[in-house]
Amino acid sequence: MKFIEREEDESWKADGACSGLPTIWWYQNVKEPNEPERRARKICEGCPVRRECLEYALRNREKDGVWGGLNTDDRDAEVRKIRRHHGPVPYEQIVERIAR
């Protein structure tokens, strides 16, 4: 099986509310497991590129961190729920359903 490399446009990242902030804020901290996630979710709430961020995480199967306001468990649960009810669905449609 041959995989086709897809050129991903990541220019949206520059417009993210997180742009310029410490990356570690979007990943779980062993000493304070909930604090970084709360902070990240709060920043994501008003982000102008939240959908693009969530779609990026889903397409690239990001296993860690908060992306588009959702952590890994949230993303996995949403994808499972949507696929259970609708079958195989493109990521664009999954993002559309989650971001409502």
pLDDT tens, position by position, 3-38: 344 556 889 999 999 999 988 888 876 566 677 788
What does the domain layout of the chain look like in residue ranges? Answer: 21-98
Does 43 score more than 90 pLDDT?
yes
pTM over 0.85: no
Q: Is the dihedral of CA 98, 64, 43, 20 positive or negative?
A: negative
Query: Are 18 and 52 contacting, i.e. CB atoms less than 8 angstroms apart?
Result: no
pLDDT tens, position by position, 45-74: 999 999 999 989 988 889 889 999 999 899
Does 2 score more than 80 pLDDT?
no
- For position 5, what pLDDT does the model report? 44
